[in-house]
Copies of this chain bind each other. A is one copy, B any other.
Amino acid sequence: MTSTESRGTPIELNAVIVAVENCTPYLLTTDDLALPSGPFESGHRTLEQGLRAWARLKGAQTLGYVEQLYTFADRDRTTAGTRSVSIGYLALVHDPAQPLGHDWSPWYRHFPWEDHRDGTPAIIAAQILPALEAWKNAAPDAPTREIQAERIGIAFPRDPRQWNEELVLQRYELLWQAELVAEAGTGARDSFGLAMPFDHRRIVATAMARLRAKIKYRPVVFELLPREFTLLHLQNTVEALAGLRLHKQNFRRLVEQQGLVEETGATTRGASGRPAKLFSFRRKVLQERAMAGTKLPRTG
């Protein structure tokens, strides 16, 4: 920090642009599966506005929710030889009018171990755990093995009920260190999930983790839904993001007791089964409860 080598570092923006269609979350990518990115443009007042304008140009639907994720600047993060700094953004696209095209990639293709909606994915017991075992056992000393074993146990617990869907980034980093993802470079033996260029899969992991954490305390799911939706549609979307099945009745109780939605009066028609009421998001809650609230045992 004492050097004056501040000619300037190239800054780029990377956006994880998410849409959900038919119970599947998708990422907007370029042809080579890279995240859309561009140079930092100083013409906009804020980074976020710049991102929105740029996404419009790139042909993504208009971005709804936008949030800064993280600034990535490890030394080994080099694009075209020079070290680069990237500011990652997460953006959510409302239910797209036209079906998603070929430039949208289902995110579980890149993270097959993260989708637990139909039970623990087979790849975990069949391939990931054995490979991690082997990696752990290759550690030089016992204490290290101990620590690795702990990490593995937390990231990929045996008991399905222990699965913590938020640990997306920890899991990806664990697989990286064990050289079980192609991006780790050094001649990975096994490679799980569809790789992405540069550190983009890491950025996506960060985005998934953030999103999975956020849906629990902020009504962001609605940024991925059309204006009107059924409660089942809402639940399916949350499940798609979390990669988990939820208890239907309790999910509804939660949604209603929090006053997140209101009936529009209309119902679905034509489908099989009892028609469902249509709901819309109560924008007011954004103001009413600027946030859930406390976990501290306050006085008064």
Q: Which residues of A contact B (CB under 8 A)?
A: 1-13, 38-47, 50, 53-54, 57, 68, 70-71, 73-76, 83, 85, 87, 150-151, 154, 160-161, 164, 166-167, 170, 215-217, 238, 242, 244-247, 250-251, 253-254, 287, 290-291, 293-300
Q: Is the CB of A47 within 8 A of B73?
A: yes
Q: Is the CB of A170 within 8 A of B6?
A: no
Distance in Å from the Cβ of A68 to the closest Cβ of chain B? 6
Given that A73-B46, A74-B46, A254-B297 are contacting pairs, would A57 and B287 also be in contact in the complex, using a CB cutoff of 8 Å?
no
Q: Which of B13, B71, B160, B250 contacts A300 (CB 8 A)?
A: B160
Can you list 13 residue pairs at the A/B interface with Cβ under 8 Å? A1-B13, A3-B43, A11-B11, A44-B75, A68-B71, A154-B287, A167-B291, A170-B290, A244-B296, A244-B299, A245-B298, A245-B299, A245-B300
Which applies to chain A's interface (DSSP): helix, strand, loop or mixed?
loop
Distance, CA A70 to CA B2, complexed state (A)? 23
The chain B residue sitting closest to A40, CB to CB, is: B9
Q: Which residues of B contact A47 (CB under 8 A)?
A: 71, 73-74
Given that A244-B296, A250-B297 are contacting pairs, would A39 and B5 also be in contact in the complex, using a CB cutoff of 8 Å?
yes
In the A-B complex, the 8 residue pairs with the smallest Cβ-Cβ separation, listed nearest first, are A8-B8, A250-B297, A1-B38, A1-B54, A216-B295, A6-B39, A247-B297, A71-B71
Q: Is the CB of A42 within 8 A of B246?
A: no
Distance, CA A10 to CA B8, complexed state (A)? 4
Distance in Å from the Cβ of A213 to the closest Cβ of chain B? 9
Distance in Å from the Cβ of A238 to the closest Cβ of chain B? 7
Distance in Å from the Cβ of A81 to the closest Cβ of chain B? 13
Q: Is the CB of A1 within 8 A of B296?
A: no
Q: Is the CB of A10 within 8 A of B6?
A: yes
Distance in Å from the Cβ of A72 to the closest Cβ of chain B? 9
Distance, CA A97 to CA B253, complexed state (A)? 52
Distance, CA A57 to CA B2, complexed state (A)? 9
Distance in Å from the Cβ of A1 to the closest Cβ of chain B? 4
Distance, CA A6 to CA B44, complexed state (A)? 14
Distance, CA A38 to CA B290, complexed state (A)? 35
Q: Which residues of B contact A1 (CB under 8 A)?
A: 13, 38-39, 41, 50, 53-54, 57
Q: Which residues of B contact A2 (CB under 8 A)?
A: 38, 41, 57
Greatest chain B CB density within 10 A among A11, A45, A71, A293 is at A71
Q: Which residues of B contact A246 (CB under 8 A)?
A: 296-299
Q: Which residues of B contact A164 (CB under 8 A)?
A: 290-291, 293
